[in-house]
Amino acid sequence: MRIVHLVGFYSPELGYQESYLAEQHARMGHEVHVIASDRPYPFPNIKKIMKDARARLEKEKGRNDSGVKVHRLNSWRVYADLILLFGIKKKLREIRPDVVFAHESRQSPPYYAGMWKKELGYVLVTDQHDFHHHIPKHSLAKKLLREIDYVIVRNPMVRKALKRSDGIIAVTRETKAYLKKQFKLKDEDVALVELGVDEKAFTNNPKARLRIRKAHGIKDSDVAFAFAGTIVRRKGIEMLIEAFAKMANMDSRLMIIGDGEEAYMEELKQLSADLGVQDSVIFTGFVPKAELPEFFSAADVGVWPGNNSVIIMEAMACGLPVIMVDLQLSHLVGYNNGMKFHSGDLAELQSCMQKMMDTRLRKKLAGNSRKACEKNYSYASIARQFLEVAKKAGEKRHIKLDI
C-alpha cells in the first residue's frame, strides 16, 4: 500500500511521532512517503539543536531515511508553528497515495489535504495533539494572544480539517476529550491511538551506563535524577533544581539533558550556583536521539516538572521510574512505575524525589516501566492501529485498503 505522512515539520533526527510511524509503516512493507516543509520546527535555539543532531536544514528532495522517501516543499512560516506548504496537491498527484495520514491540523497541511481527497482518490486520516491545558509560565499577554490565535485562526481551520477527514485520531485521552468538547464530535467519531515509543531503540544499556556516569563524575552509589527535553520555560526546570537543592543529599546528582533557550539555560545554571548545587547539577547539552537511551541508562530516575512530553515514554522503555506533573500524560505512572505531583507544588515534588532515594522502591518501579511500554506503547502496535483506523474510514467511502 502507498502511504503518505503529511506534516508541517519533519526532523527524524529529533524523533517524534510522525517519524516513528513512517518508519514502522515502511518496516511493515508499505511504500511510505513523507511530505513536509523545508524548515525545522521553530524551537528556541533550533539552529544549534539541528547542528548538534547533524540534521540538515537545507531543502531536501527524495532523501531516503529508514526506508521512507522524504519530499520537502517550499514553505512560508506565517508565525509560531502555522506554516503553509506550496505544491502539496502536485506532490500528492505524483505519489498517488492510497492513504494520507495528516498530522497536527493546527499547522495547516491537513486542512488542504481534505480539499483533494476525492479528486485524487485517497483515504484521509487526521491526527490531533491539542488539548485543554494551562501553562502557568506564560504571561497574561502571551496567554491572551494564544487565545486570540486559536479563536480566530486555528479553531476554524482545525474544524474544517476534521470535517473533511475520513477518520480522526486523538493521541491522548485529554485530546479526545478536547475534540469532543471543542468541536462537538461524538465519541465514536474519534479513535484513541496514544503516543508511543520505539522499544527496540530505547532499551537499557549497562555498558553505556558505566561509561557516561564515569564521564560525568557520577559515582556508582549516587542516585542520578534526569530531565530530558527541549529547555524552555514551560518545562519548569527551575522548580526541579530547587527541589533537588532542598533534598541536600550528597549521594544524588541531577542531569539536565537537552538544549533550548540560551537565556533560560543561563538562568538555570545561575540558580544552581545560587543554591550551592552547581557541582551536583550536570548540563549535558543537546544529545542526539540515537544516544539518548545511553543517557537514560546512566540515570536512576526520570523527572518532568512541567509540560509533559513523549520523551517520558522513552525513559520508561529504558527502565526508568518516573516522576511527573499531573497533566495530560500523567496516566503513564498508572502502572506502579512512578509518582505524580500537582503542578507547581514544590514540596510535593521534593517529597517524590526523596522517596525515590529508596533503592528497593526504585528497582521495583523501574521494572514496571519497561513492561508498561512493551505492553501498551509499542510503535509497532500503534502503526497497525493507524492502519486499522484508515481501513475502517475507507469502508465508509467504499474504498478497500490492503493493510
pTM of the model: 0.82
Angle between helices 346-355 and 237-247 (to 10 degrees): 60
Strand partners, 325: 341
Report the C-alpha gap between 181 and 190 in whole angstroms.
Answer: 12
Q: What is the pLDDT of residue 334?
A: 92
Label residue 137 by pLDDT band (50, 70, 90). low
Label residue 134 by pLDDT band (50, 70, 90). low
pLDDT over 90 for what percent of the chain? Answer: 74
Predicted confidence (pLDDT) per residue in 354-365, tens digit: 999 999 999 999
- Please give the DSSP secondary-structure letter assigned to residue 220: T
In order of their start, the domains of the chain are 2-196+378-396 (3.40.50.2000), 206-376 (3.40.50.2000)
* For residue 94, pLDDT beyond 90: yes
Q: How far is CA 130 from CA 20, 158, 169, 171, 363, in A?
A: 19, 10, 11, 9, 34
Q: What is the pLDDT of residue 135?
A: 52
Label residue 314 by pLDDT band (50, 70, 90). very high
* For residue 87, pLDDT beyond 60: yes
Report the C-alpha gap between 164 and 124 in whole angstroms.
Answer: 8
**What average pLDDT does the structure give for the chain?**
91
* Residue 371, C-beta contacts closer than 8 angstroms, at least 6 positions apart: 335
Q: What is the pLDDT of residue 219?
A: 95
C-beta atoms surrounding 91 within 10 Å = 18
Q: What is the pLDDT of residue 203?
A: 96
* For residue 283, pLDDT beyond 70: yes
pLDDT over 70 for what percent of the chain? Answer: 95
